[in-house]
Each structure stands twice: as structure tokens, then as C-alpha cells.
Structure 1
Amino acid sequence: MTVNVARDWRKFFSRRARKRGPVSPLTRQILAVNFVGLGLFAAGALYLNQFRSGLIETRIQSLITQAEIIAGAIAQTSARGPAATRVNPVIAAQIARRIVLPTQTRARLFNVEGTLVVDSRDLVFPRPVRSYALPQPGQEAQTTQSWIVRLEQRYARMLEWLFQRERPLYHELESARASDYPEVLAALQGNISGIVRKNSQGEPIISVAVPVQRFRVVLGGLMLTTEAADIDEIVRAERRAIIEVFLVALAVATVMSLVTAGAIVRPIRRLAEAADRVRLFKTERAPIPDMSRRNDEVGDLSVALIDMTSALYDRIDAIERFAADVAHEIKNPLTSISSAIESLAVARDEASKAKLMAIIHNDVRRMDRLISDISAASRLDAQLSRAKPEPVPIVPLLRALVDLFRETQEKPVTYQLRTIGLNREAEAGLVVRGEEGRLVQVFRNLLENAVSFSPEGGTITVLIRREADKIVVVIEDEGVGFPISGLERVFERFYTDRPDMTTGDGHSGLGLSISRQIVEAYGGTIEAENRYAVESAAAVDTEPQPIGARLIVKLRPY
């Protein structure tokens, strides 16, 4: 016993320690559910791939339109006559200076042989030089960027690595030819083409090439190149805004999840610990916290546990009372048998010995009936829980039982069975919900109780009627009735309050208790009351005397 208790306590404390971790499993689940949805939203919003692709496509179309305008101007002004096959580089350079340079776009013109003849970069003096800050040797680059910007950059690189094809690197060549640029080769074939590259900083470089043609004769290819770093900057700004909103939403979701989890986890933990105390505390009754004021599922759980614990304690009390009553009821016949045996040893005449032997036999029969009833009562709950209710025609069952009592009972009693307000067809429709064997046990107990109370020559009447949604069976006798103070106790276990004139030998006091237990298991009720004569009941100055007892059983129709 000591080992088992110690093991139970070790289980209790180990489980309690596991439950009282920094973050409970239920809290982690609540956080995970909230974070997954929020994370999916943020990932989808941060991707912004369609937005970026749309901006780049718009920029490409804009460059193509600009290139077509410039190519048309070059073809019309720098080439003369329908037989012209070349453009005038000087005139083309002037057009490029006036149209291209204000747009911050680089224009390059290639002749039909693929030779670069005009480069707008050469028209600007001094030539522009693009520079980027480099870190000092041996040191990391010093940056004042915020951690949100760094987070966005890492995220952008990850997305580019996961979802985008690697862009070709843009190389600045000293002596460029058309063969170095696929889009220019396509333009010299009379096609319009565009390519997106990246520079050493990862910024996009957009290049488009259109044919310079006059009278459907290709005179050369015009290539426009522009940096699209502003597009990436727009996307980065959007990402940073989304990240900031996401972080705020994440903080709010975390706080709300923790608050929600705390409102659920802490009460459930308290209820679990209280349930452990109920299980482990053998010497006292541990209370269950009352959370009924919450008006939610946790409050319902608290009320259910309180009711369950109360029912458990009531059942324990009932078992303890039952055990005490069993000990008391068994001790009485044992004491009587012991006294009879001691008296038998000193008895001198045969009459005294015969009388003592009769007492011993009577007490033995009483103990046998008592033990049988106790065994049946102790197994009844389990048997009823496993039994499946079935339709039972009540009138044939009662007729057969009354006929059996007429044939087998030694006491001279008259039995009557009547149905009230029912014809034969209606009698056949009286079918109750239950199990035939158990219902026979119920009405056998009630009839035996009536026989034990009835005087010799008395009448026991069984009445059957339909009442609203119940089928009612009434058993009446002509005995002395129940004590007024005992009407509420007649269904208690081992309750026996029989007048001297009744024959209560061999009865354990469990019959009515077992009957009520069976009837209530099938959704019915059973009541006890006394019968009174009309003139006696109308008397005012004297207490009315019962002329018999009445047991009323109400069963559910099937």
C-alpha cells in the first residue's frame, strides 16, 4: 500500500511538473495556429512577384515605344533616297543627343554589319562614371541600414533564389558589337526584342532593340538601355511596409494568443490538479474550483467536474452506508443463530430443542435471502448499463405473473388484475421500454411486498392504465399501509418497518430499492402512498387511518 501511494505521488508531481513548463502544449498550439495564418499572409504579400513583373514589363514596353520613335526619326532623317542602305552617324548622333539624353537612357546604334556607330554615352563630356562604395580592406562594410531593411534584403535574395531564374550579368564592353547582344542581332533581322540583365549590385538593367528600317529595308539596330533600380526600390519599400505591419500584427497576435491561452490553460490546469487531488487524497475530500461564473466551456467543465465529484462522493457514501447496513443485517441473524446454538446445548426437553432448531433454520433462510439480494444489488448497476432496452408487452407479463402467484403463494390472498379504459386492441398496444427479465423482477418484488403486508383473506389488486405519455401500473393491498414518516424511506436499502401482524420473515429490505433502481434505469418512476376510505379521509378531528398501501409504477412506452 505504501509503495502504491508513493508511486501515485511521483506520477502526480512528475505530471504537474510537465504541465507547468514555460509554455504549455495548448499555448503552443494556439500560437502556432495564429502564426501559421499570419505567416502565410505575410509570405504571399512579401512575394510581390506579379507587381514587380508588371512594373518591368511596363518599363520594357515604354522603352520599345521610345526606341521605335527614335529609330523612325533616324531612318527618316539620316538616310536619303529609296536605295539608301546605311544611316548617317552624325545625324543619328544629333537625334540621340536631343531625344535620348534627357530621358537618362543610353542609346546605341549598330549598322547592318553589327558595328557600333553611335553611343549616347560618348556624347556626354565628361563621360559619366558609376561608382559604388566599397568596404575598407580587411573590414566589413559599415552600414546604417535598419534591421528591417536588412531583413527585407535577405528575404528578397531568398525569394530570387527560390522563385526566379538567374538574370544574366550585364558586362560593359570596350568595343561592343551586335554579336555581343542577342537583342541587337534580333533587331538586325527585323524583330523587336528585350532582355533584363543585372549589374554587379544586383540591380536590373533593361535593354530593348528595334530595327532601324526605311521602306522595309533594315538600315541598322537601335538599342536602348536603362537601369531599373527604382523598380526594385519600389518593391523594397512595399516589402518594408508589409514587414512593419506584419511585425505589429505578430506582436498583437502573440499577446492575444498568450492572453487567450492563459484564460484557457490556467483554469484547465487548476481543474486537472484538483482532479489529481481528488484521486490521491485518501483522508480528505479535495474541492473542485468553481468557475461557473465564466459562462463558457471552461465554466461548464468546472460545473461538470463538481457534479461528477459530488456524485462520486455520494456513491462512496452510499457504498459505505451499504457496507455498514450489510454488516448490521448479517450480524442480526448471526447473533440469533449463536444464541440459539448456545441455548440448544442446555435445552432439556424436545419441544425447546425443536423451537430453537426452527429459529436456526429461519435465520439461515433469512441470511441466504439476504446474501442473494445483496449480491444482486451490487451487480445491478453494471448489468443495467450493459443491457439494451427492448419492447415488452406489459399486460401479458402481468397476467402471467399474477397467475403464477395464485398458484404458488401459500398465503390465502385473492389476486385481481384489471385494465382501466382499455379494450383488447388497446391492451395489445401497451408496450413499455425495458428488459423482460428485469421488469418481472420489479413486479415480483412489488407483489411479494403486497403479500407480506396483506392479511389472510385480503385482496391484492393490479391496475393498468394509460396516462399521457406513460403506462401506469398500480398494485394495491389491504394491509395496514406504510407509516406516514416512512413514505419517503420505503425505497431505501434495508428499510423494514413492518407491523407485528405482517409476515416479513425472509425479506432483506432490498426489494423495493432494487425495483426503484431498475424502473429509473428505464426512464420510469415508482412511488408509494397509502389508501384511505372516503369517509375516513373526510374526517377533520381525527387522523385518517389507511386501509392499505399503493405502489405506483410509471413506465415509458416503447
Structure 2
Amino acid sequence: MAIDSERAEGAPAGASAGPDARSQLRRLGSKRVRRRVLGRIRRLISTYVLSSLTKRIIAINLVGLVALLSGILYLNQFRAGLIDARVQSLLTQGEIIAGAIAASATVDTGAITVDPERLLQLQAGESITPRSEDLDSLDFPINPERVGPVLRRLISPTKTRARIYDPDGILLLDSRHLYSSAQILRYNLPAPDAEEESLPMQVWQSIKLWLRRGDLPVYQEIGSGDGRAYPEVETALAGSPASVVRVSSRGELIVSVAVPIQRFRAVLGTLLLSTQGGDIDAIVQAERLAILRVFLVAATVTILLSILLAGTIAGPVRRLAAAAERVRMGSTSRTEIPEFDDRQDEIGHLAQAFRDMTHALYNKIEAIEQFAADVAHELKNPLTSLRSAVETLPLAKTENARERLLEVIQHDVRRLDRLITDISDASRLDAELARSQAEPFDLVDLLRNIVDAANERSGGESAEVLLTVADANGDKAYRVAGHDTRLSQVFANLLDNARSFSPKDATVRIGVARDGKRIRILVDDDGPGIRAEDTNRIFERFYTDRPDGEGFGNNSGLGLSISRQIIEAHGGRITAENRQEINKATGKSETAGARFVIMLPPAGA
């Protein structure tokens, strides 16, 4: 027994578990899987189906559908047409029943005296009533005992109420109180503790009465009172049929039609037919239920289409937002924005704009990082030289050595000052160009002022600068839109650079001309030119290539880089090349100097 217990304790978990334990573990595992699946389904529904954009699209689409449904239910002509049809049906039915009643009425013809001459004088639609002295000799012109069975058989299938009034408006028969022989009457009596209608039902009935009443009169039950209180009965006793539409205290429509009961144009009484309280309302309600069923189908289709529409919008927007979030979090590598090349709509344009913006942002970040690295490298050289000179200065033994070291220190300080100034100018250039408003100005006037200032400043000690302007159509052929201060900096820098490479007796030439839809500016010098491998490198930051013997560190190498940045900000392009001329002695093409080509768009282009 001890060995068995040791084995049981040393066995792995679940090894000695019985069938019940294994089934319990399986049930627990299946529950976890179900919970995980259900949680994933809920997340998908909340993300894609119940997202804010999806809810808004569904709500907007359903608002129009609900408004259409409300208009149909409230303004439809079905109810009015149904009332008119019901009136015509009751009139036809009343004329048939009135004719049958008139034929079944028991009248003592010898007791009623009608003047034949008066009958011949009657026009179409007119009638004559028996004289009062003739009626006095009769108990009832219409015998209720004979008319009752006929009326019951004719009224029972129609589900309408029929009342017969005599010429004095006295109620003779009411279909509610007509019963066949041996008929058993059953009434569902209310429970002893039965309460009145609930408050919500009373409020709903009051609302229906207010909505439906309008100009309709409210129906009032007269009972056995004078039937002439009903306007249609009064009209029918005069010999003309009439109809009235009323509304009950419960908000139900009641249509009443009164038809005269005539015999030989003599009005024996009036037949009043009226619909049940909920007759027309039941038909209208059935029609509205059919409309509601159609609405539910249309709403279901609208919701499904709205979800599909929201998926085509919310899905791509969600992917773009997730990519933008990854860019914001600063991932180590470039985050690619999703492409939607197959979409030529606003989502596709938005995705392309996001891609371009992200690429520009990454390029700007890389440029800033490279600029910071270049700045650190360029500052390190003069600082190293300055540190070495400062550390060596106390060890100098002669006055000449100290003076040389002090010159090195002053040179390095001036170089640092120049570097810091140019670096500061380059770092705030983009922000300054973005903030300032571009204004049109004449480029030729700007170049003339720069050339005059450069010639006056040199005093004949540097190469002369000449400006040549080609003829162009219009007074505004050389107007550009931009920042004249920054463009002045570009041309001044190019002139200084050209004069620094040209001999004193040489000439620096600036040419301005129209080249199609662009303005072309050429800056030529008579220097040694540019080495072929350095044609593109000269625009890099901190790059310098000076002739031998020129002082080291007199240039920061940022001038041409800043110039290209300014020209590109104005929508232009700057390039460098060598100017070729034919050597008269050898007849070969040789480099005669450097040339900078600037292309700028004119104002309004």
C-alpha cells in the first residue's frame, strides 16, 4: 500500500485521473473555447457592426425611411377613400332595405287619403307624406311585427346597425334588439372586481379622438329619443338620402346613412344605417399593418446595406488610423500606409495623401537626423583644433609660437561663429518660408540691385558682374511670386561663389531669359570649373572644394545647400555644370568655367 501511494503521489497531474475527471477537463476546455469565440465575435460586432460610423449611417438611412412611413400612415388617402366607399355601399344597401321594408309595411289604404292631383304635380325626387288626419287613423304606418323579421334577415350579414323611425322621428325598430325565435342570448358579464380601462389606454383613446376628430362631429347615442336630432334623419324624412361621418368617444369612426322609406312617393319613415365603431378602423389598421410589414423588410435591407456601406468606409479608415497610430508611436522601421489602388474615390485619395504625407515626414526626419550628424561632425573639427591650440598655448616657449596659436584660436572661433550662423539660418529656413506670404515682384529689378551692390562693394578688387536680360513679351514676363529677401540671398551667394573662383580681371555674367513657361537664370564664371564627380555633391551640406592655397575654414559649405533649399521652396530647380568653349590654339573643347542654371516659375503660372 505504501508503494502504491508513492506511485500515486509521484505520478504527473492527470495521469491517475479517472474518466469523470477527464470529461470534466474536456468540459472546462470547451467552455474556455466557447468564451474565447464569443468574446471574439462580440469584439468584431462592436468594432465593425456597432461602430460609431456604422450607427450614424444606419440612423441617417432609417430617418428618411421612417419619415416616408410616417407620411404614408398620416397622409395616405386610403382612409378617406374607404369612408367614401363605405358611404356609397350603405346608401345602396339602405335603398334596397328601404324598398323591402316599404313592400312589407302594413298600411290601411282606405284610411290614407292622397290627392291624385298633388301626386301628378310632384317633381322628380319630391315626395308626399300622408296627411295628419289620415295618420291619426293609423296606429303604425309601418308594422314592426312584419318588418322586424325582414330587417333582421337583411341586416345580419352586413354587420351594420339599422334603425327605423316613423315620420314623427319616433324609433320603431333597432337591429340591436331584434332576435329570432328560440334564440339564446349570452352576455359576458364583467368580473366583480373588474376595474375600468387603464390610464395608458384612456390616454391613447384621447389622443386618437383628438387626432381624428378635426371637423368631424362626436357621435352621441339618442336611444329612443327624437330621431330628428340626427341631421341625416331629418333630411331623409324630407325625402332625400343623407350621410354623416362621426367619431365616437373612443376615437372610432362611425358612418351613418339615412334613406327614406317611401311608398308611392309617400314617406312612411326613415331607415338609419350605421357602421360599427371599429369597422373602418379595423380595415385601416390592417392596411397599416401591411405597410409596417413592408417597412420592416425595407428597414432590414437598409440596415444590411448600411452595414456594407459602412464596412467599405470604416474598414479602410480604421486601417489608416491604425497605421497613423503606429507612425505616431515611432516604430523602428518605416510604417507602410495601406494602399487602396483599386479605389478611385475619396478613400483612395485619402490613402494616397496619407502615404505621401508619411513619406515626406520620414524624409524630413531622416534629413533632420542627417543634418544633426553633419552639424556635429562639422563642429567637432574646429572644436578639436581649438582645444588642441588651447592646451598647447601654455607650453609655447616663444612669442612667435604663442602668436601662431592665438591666430589658430581666433580662426577656429570665427569658423565656429560662421558655422553656427549658417546652421541657424538653415534650420529656420523651412519655417520662415512656410510662415511668410509669397508676393509677386520683378526679378530683373532684384538682379539689377544685387549686381550694382556687388560691383560697388568690390571696388575693382574682384571680378566684375554683368547682367544681360533677353527681350520678352509683356511687362510682367519676369515677375515671380515668392520671397525677394531669400531669393536675394541665393543670387548674392552665387555671385560671391563665382567671384571667389574667378580671376580679378575676369567677368561674372548673369543672363535672364524666358524658356517656355519658365524663367531661366544663368550665372557664369571664368574659374577652373567643377570636377565631373562633384557636380551633384556641391549642393550637399558642408561640402567645399576650394583651390589650393585658399584659407582653410573660410567657408561653411552650407551656401549652395541653402540656395537649393530656397529655390525648391519657390517651385524651381538649380543645377550646376561646366561651361565649354573651343580653344583657338588647339581647336578642342575645354572647360571655360562653371555655370549655375536656375529655373523659376513666373507669377501666376
The match for 2:114 among 81, 97, 111 is 81
Any conservation in 2 of the 1:274–1:286 contact (CA below 8 Å)?
no
Aligned-pair identity in percent equals 45
Residue 114 of structure 1, CA deviation: 2.3
Contact 1:85 1:219 survives alignment (8 Å)? no
Query: How far is the alpha carbon of 1:298 from its aligned partner?
Result: 2.9
Q: CA deviation at 1:91?
A: 5.5
Aligned counterpart for 1:433 among listed residues 477, 481, 504? 481
Contact 1:101 1:120 (C-alpha < 8 Å) held by counterparts: no
Does residue 1:444 correspond to 2:471, yes or no? no
Maintained 8 Å contact 1:188/1:221 = yes
The letter for the 2-side match of 1:386 is R
Q: Name 1:29's counterpart in structure 2.
A: 56
Structure 1 partner of 2:36: none
CA distance in 2, matches of 1:489, 1:241: 81
Residue from 543, 551, 556 that aligns with 2:596: 551
Deviation at residue 475 of structure 1 after TM alignment: 0.5
Residues 60-117 of structure 1: per-residue CA shift (max 9 Å, x gap) = 2443465568779989997751472367755676789779954645543323432123
CA deviations 1:119-169 (Å, max 9, x no partner) are 567777349899798999999xxxxxxxxxxxxx9xx97983673239856
Alignment of 1:124-523 (within 5 A): 125-126=180-181, 160=208, 163-165=211-213, 168=218, 173=223, 175-178=224-227, 181=230, 183-185=232-234, 187=236, 193-196=242-245, 204-210=253-259, 220-227=269-276, 231-281=280-330, 284-285=332-333, 287-295=335-343, 296-409=345-458, 411-421=461-471, 429-500=477-548, 505-523=553-571
2:38 aligns with none
How many correspondences in the alignment? 521
Runs of 4+ with >6 A deviation? 68-79, 92-100, 120-124, 127-139, 156-159, 198-203, 212-219
Query: What residue identity is the alignment partner of 1:264?
Result: I
TM-superposition CA deviations, 1:476-531 (whole Å, max 9, x none):
11112222122222222222233326667532111112212222222222111111
User: How much does 1:353 deviate?
Assistant: 4.1
1:268 Cα deviation from its structure 2 partner: 2.1
C-alpha deviation, 1:39, in angstroms: 1.7
Contact 1:291 1:298 in 2 (8 A): no
How big is each residue's C-alpha offset from its partner over 1:409-455, in whole Å with a ceiling of 9 and x where there is no partner?
Answer: 37431221112345xx8677421111221221111111112122223
Q: Is the 8 A contact 1:271 1:288 kept in 2?
A: no
Q: Which amino acid aligns with 1:310?
A: H
Q: Which residue identity lines up with residue 85 of structure 1 in the other structure?
A: R
Q: Which amino acid aligns with 2:56?
A: Q
Superimposed CA distance per residue, residues 41-74 of structure 1 (whole angstroms, 9 cap, x where no aligned partner): 2233344653112211232244346556877998
SS of residue matched to 2:466: strand
- C-alpha displacement at 1:30, in angstroms? 1.0
Contact 2:165 2:171 in 1 (8 A): yes
* More displaced 10-residue stretch of structure 1: 473-482 or 72-81: 72-81
| 2:54/2:306 contact within 8 Å kept | yes
**Given that residues 395 and 428 in structure 1 are in contact (C-alpha distance below 8 angstroms), is that contact kept between their aligned partners in structure 2?**
no
Gaps of 5+ in 1: 1-15, 140-152
SS at match of 2:541: coil
Q: Secondary structure of the equivalent of 2:538?
A: coil
Note closer, same or farther for the CA distance 1:135–1:342 as it changes in structure 2 (3 Å cut).
Answer: same
Per-residue deviation, 1:389 = 1.5
Determine if contact 1:455/1:502 at 8 Å carries over to the other structure: no
What is the SS of the residue equivalent to 1:493? coil
Instruction: List aligned pairs for 1:86-105, cutoff 5 A.
Output: 89=140, 102=154, 104=158
Measure, in 2, the Cα distance between the counterparts of 1:421 and 1:48. Answer: 77
Q: Over the residues paired in the alignment, what is the CA RMSD in angstroms? A: 4.3
**Alignment CA distance shift 1:56-1:361 (3 Å):** same
TM-score (norm 2): 0.73
CA contact (8 A) 2:527 2:592 kept: yes
| Superposition deviation, residue 225 in structure 1 | 2.7
Taking a change above 3 Å as real, the CA distance of residues 263 and 232 of structure 1, as seen in their structure-2 partners, is: same
* Inter-partner Cα distance in structure 2 for 1:130 and 1:167: 33
The one-letter code of the counterpart of 2:67 is: L
Q: Which residue of 2 aligns with 1:41?
A: 68
Are the aligned partners of 1:92 and 1:118 in contact in 2 as well (CA < 8 Å)?
Answer: no
CA distance 1:44–1:273, shift in 2 (3 Å): same
Structure 2 counterpart of 1:526, from 567, 574, 579: 574
Change (3 A) 1:493 1:54: same
Is the CA contact 2:518–2:602 (under 8 Å) kept in the aligned structure 1? yes
Q: Which has the larger radius of gyration?
A: 2
Q: Which residue of 1 aligns with 2:87?
A: 60
Q: Which moved more, 1:293-302 or 1:198-207?
A: 198-207
Distance 2:60 2:95 in 1: 55
Give SS of 1:259's match.
Answer: helix
Checking the alignment, whether the CA contact within 8 Å between 2:218 and 2:249 is kept in structure 1 is no
CA distance in 2, matches of 1:203, 1:331: 98
Match of 1:114 among 165, 169, 174: 169
How far does residue 377 in structure 1 lie from its aligned partner after superposition?
A: 1.1
Counterpart secondary structure, 2:602? coil
| DSSP 3-state at the match of 2:480 | strand
Deviation at 1:539, TM superposition (A): 9.2
